[in-house]
Structure 1
Amino acid sequence: MLINVANPDTACQKKFNLESEVKLKNLYNKMIMSEVKGEELFDEWNGYILRITGGTDKQGFPMMKGVMTPDRVRLLLTSNHSCYNPRKKGERRRKSIRGCIIDTQIGTLNLIILKKGDGEIEGLTTTSIPRKYGPKRANKIRKLFNLSKTDDVTKYVIHRRLPAKTGFYIWFCIIIFCKDADGKVRKQLSKAPKIQRLITPVVLQRKRHRLSMKKKRAVRSKAIKDAYTKNFANYKKKLAADKLSERKRKASSRRKSASVSVAN
């Protein structure tokens, strides 16, 4: 069985070939996310604690977490499941996968180191691979370098050097970007991420513009509301005056008709 071991602390990864049946019996009937002692796999790994994260069988079918069987099964998978990458939205497909229980049919097993033991493992704990990419968000850059809000974050962006290339591209870069007129190297080609959530004067100006437009809309809305309230009050007063004049007119007409009838 091929054992693929990764060390999250050093970002290193190495494969080991485990052929001893006595050692392999310590892995059988274990499931994904189970912990294994290092001395159960190799005698030199005394004190190490590893966790099983997955694996594939000898035909290349992956192990799926939560499928409680050592056999290969066919399940209807969606985008919410692992071991399947749908090509269309809402697509489902029946795929062959291996259960999460280890047996003799497993060809490759993936593990990670949870606890370091007494000795060193060549290629896993002796070397360390630096991060290829630095943080991209402004606050995370400040947290990494312990900066204040007044410090310029753009000066602390981690640049990634580009590998050397041959041919017309490297000639063009040297002529245009890297050398001055006297032939001295000005800078080395590198790439850096675009800082996100960075507060710049343009951002503050746009924020002030949004707030000013919001205030203008509020003033305009208030003026429209006041004008409507005033017009509506005048309209109600006019209705009340018209109603009162109509009542007076009807009352006077009734009095006149009553006096005419009495005279006759």
Structure 2
Amino acid sequence: MAFKVVVSDSKTGKSYQFETESTALIGKKIGDEISGSVVELEGYKLKITGGSDKCGFAMRHDIHGAMKMRVLLKSGPGYNVKEKGLRRRKSLRGNTISKDITLINTKVVEYGSAPLGGEPESIE
């Protein structure tokens, strides 16, 4: 199972996508810090901020576990409110990474020595 890991750099405002076959991510939760070596970023520390499963259902930090649930929402990740006071039942994933998760969103907490985007290409 391959994970797509999106790494957001808050200094530059850019994000970078990596693929990994590592099983070290299974069991981690939203808010956990992981080593950047999982996606070949030596010296970096990454914080998990969210993700989605193979069907596109978003992960939510306040649903515990790895299962998919139908929850009643009034705001937050997975639901945009159209009118004040409107609530809706939506299917969402829990906050734990399992084999069904395909996309993991992270942000950089500690920077390593190498640049995040690799070597800049020279324009000739």
TM-score interval w.r.t. the shorter chain? 0.7 to 0.9
Deviations 1:225-257 (A, max 9, x none): xxxxxxxxxxxxxxxxxxxxxxxxxxxxxxxxx
- Map 1:170-185 to 2 at 5 A: none
Structure 1: state its 5+ residue gaps: 128-264
Equivalence for 1:61: 57
Query: In the alignment, which of 94, 100, 103 is matched to residue 105 of structure 1?
Result: 100
Equivalence for 1:15: 17
- Map 1:64-213 to 2 at 5 A: 64-79=60-75, 81-122=76-117
- Give the C-alpha shift of residue 126 in structure 1: 5.5
- Give the C-alpha shift of residue 11 in structure 1: 1.4
Paired letter, 1:118: S
- Give the C-alpha shift of residue 88 in structure 1: 2.1
Equivalence for 2:29: 31
Equivalence for 1:242: none
Structure 2: state its 5+ residue gaps: none
Deviations 1:22-64 (A, max 9, x none): x2x211111101100111x13x422110000000101000000
Do the aligned residues in 1 keep the contact of 2:43 with 2:112 (CA within 8 Å)?
A: yes
Structure 1 residues 114 and 68 mapped into 2: Cα distance closer, same or farther (>3 Å)?
Answer: same
The CA distance in 2 between the partners of 1:93 and 1:109, in whole Å, is: 25
Percent identity at matched positions?
34
Please state which structure has a larger fraction of its residues in helix. Answer: 1
Equivalence for 1:45: 41
Paired letter, 1:112: K
Please state which structure has a larger fraction of its residues in strand. Answer: 2
RMSD: 1.8
Q: TM-score scaled by structure 1?
A: 0.43
Q: Secondary structure at the match of 1:91?
A: coil
The CA distance in 2 between the partners of 1:63 and 1:57, in whole Å, is: 8
Q: Secondary structure at the match of 2:60?
A: coil
The CA distance in 1 between the partners of 2:31 and 2:120, in whole Å, is: 25
Do the aligned residues in 1 keep the contact of 2:58 with 2:77 (CA within 8 Å)?
A: no
Higher relative contact order (CA 8 A, sep 6+): 2
- Give the C-alpha shift of residue 115 in structure 1: 0.8
Runs of 4+ in 1 over 3 A off after TM superposition: none
Deviations 1:86-113 (A, max 9, x none): 2222111110000010000001110111
Larger Cα-atom Rg: 1
The CA distance in 1 between the partners of 2:85 and 2:35, in whole Å, is: 42
The CA distance in 1 between the partners of 2:12 and 2:110, in whole Å, is: 13
The CA distance in 1 between the partners of 2:94 and 2:120, in whole Å, is: 34
The CA distance in 2 between the partners of 1:114 and 1:26, in whole Å, is: 19
Q: TM-score scaled by structure 2?
A: 0.87
The CA distance in 2 between the partners of 1:119 and 1:76, in whole Å, is: 44
Paired letter, 2:6: N
